[in-house]
Amino acid sequence: MTGRILRIELRRSAALGVAVLSVVTGAALVLTSIQLFAGRWMQLAVTTRSLLMMLLPLALAGGAWLGRRDARHRVGELFASTVRPRWQRVGPSAAALAITVVAAYLLVFLIATGWVVRTSGYFPANTIAVIAVGVPALVAAAWLGMAAGRAVPRLITAPVIAVAGFVLVGLVPELVMMAGTDATLTRIRPEPSAVLLLPTFSGEVDDFQTITNRVSLLQMLWLVSLAATGLLLLGAVRRRALALAVLPAVLGAAATVPLLPEGGIRGAAVVDPVAVELVCDNDGQQVCVTRAHAGTLPDIVGPARDTLAVLAAKLPNAPVRAVETRQVYPWARRAADPAPARHSGDTLVFEAPSINRSGGVDLSDGYFVSSLFRAVWEQECGDRSAQDDEILARIVATAWLTDQPPVLESWWDSAQVERAQRAHQALVSLPQAEQRQRVAAAREAALDCRADGLLTLLPEEKP
């Protein structure tokens, strides 16, 4: 009998409409964000979790709409007069809504996998846990919404609870993050660990990072306890039962918050040692990329070897191999992460180009090739930031390598553009041997993090 009722609920209740709306909304959002995750499983998992910002309010609203069904049809007193316990009557409708919202969530994930499975060379096992956290989150939202609809069976309940849910899971983490950031956008204090009680992510995860299984399991423990509270509230009749219904959520929060790391998503993300392993092409000069970007290697090999050939013809002690950097971007680094390592002069360390919607890379604009030449002069120098003059000297040196005039971005003022042009002209007017000697000395200084040696490529400004 219960199975038959469940099938009827799945076909005829509002649960099916909630699922359809969730699939349409989730698919629209994920298909407009393909470049954020194409070719990378962990980024797909994080992006899918970010969709909960919209899917959770829909589950809350759908639950509230379904929860007021008895009051809307004025059968509450009739059902209350039967001997069947309330939890048995609400069980099939609660199960139907839980099944449909979870199915919609997983279907959106499956739709998005079409842009990952073909080109990704690495599947982090943690991806499963990150995706799984969304399941109890949606179930909890659906059952809490039903409990709210039953408690306040008004037409306005569904939209109000949807807005409240969006504010809670979408805006509160951002406000907490902004509260810990000063005017210079520097993080002055980490977000409290309680932020991770919300299943949505308020930031990005670097391609070389993963969310630890420990954090995902703690989040699932909390969300399962919250779902239990929602189900108990939905089936409770007496005041004592209502009071006891909140106990699972209270115990779940008390057990998980002390174990969750501070810092929100930055605290939950760690460097994935497998993602930073190198995958190399040795059919010629060695070109390596990280396993996280293994799908881009066929596109990168040609331009990288062409650049190495140019460097070999122009520079003494030129690099003989090209390797993708394995350092996490500064905005994603944690204090516990190992310090970035310096590289030797025989290795050209580059940043991988952006992955496009198809999971590959588009090199038609020439930006990646120019970044390879710029990488000749760059070194990991700790917290020291390159000053304008140092950047200008790198531009001049890159122009010398490519036999092209200096190319500066539009934000450089005209005086600096003229200075770079004069420096380049002065350099190329020297005898070839002296040009090579000065540029080689400048590169050696750059690799030793000595800005003064690089600045010798710029002419002194007259007072």
Residue 71: the pLDDT is 53
For the chain, the residue count is: 463
Ranges of each domain in the chain: 2-271, 277-376, 385-463
Phi, psi of 189 (to 5 degrees): -155, 145
Look at residues 331, 190, 189, 177 and name the one whose alpha carbon lies nearest to residue 263: 190
Residue 189: the pLDDT is 67
Residue 1: the pLDDT is 47
Listing from the earlier edge strand, what are the strands of the sheet with 321-324? 278-281, 287-290, 321-324, 347-350
Sorted by sequence, the CB contacts under 8 Å of residue 158 that are 6+ apart come out as: 61, 62, 64, 65, 68, 145, 149
At 187, list the tokens: 């993080």
Look at residues 147, 307, 329, 303 and name the one whose alpha carbon lies nearest to residue 231: 147
Residues 230 and 142: their CA atoms lie apart, in Å, by 8
Residue 243: the pLDDT is 80
Residue 209 host element (H or E)? strand 209-211
Residue 352: the pLDDT is 84
- Residue 446 to residues 280, 338, 347, 419, 442, Cα–Cα distance (Å): 26, 22, 14, 20, 6
What string of DSSP letters covers 270-303? EE-TTTT-EEEE-SSS-EEEEGGGGGGHHHHHHH
Residue 140: the pLDDT is 96
Strands (E), 341-428: 347-350
pLDDT tens sequence for the chain (463 residues): 456 766 776 676 778 889 999 999 999 999 998 888 988 999 999 999 999 999 999 999 999 988 876 555 455 554 555 556 665 667 788 888 999 999 999 999 999 999 998 888 889 999 999 999 999 999 999 999 989 988 888 889 889 999 999 998 888 777 776 665 655 545 656 778 888 999 998 777 888 899 999 999 999 999 999 999 999 988 776 777 778 889 999 999 999 999 999 888 888 888 899 998 999 999 989 999 999 998 889 889 999 999 999 888 888 888 999 999 888 765 455 555 555 666 677 888 888 888 877 777 878 777 888 888 888 887 777 655 667 777 888 888 888 888 888 877 777 778 877 888 888 888 888 888 888 888 888 888 888 877 776 777 776 654 4
Residues 61 and 18: their CA atoms lie apart, in Å, by 9
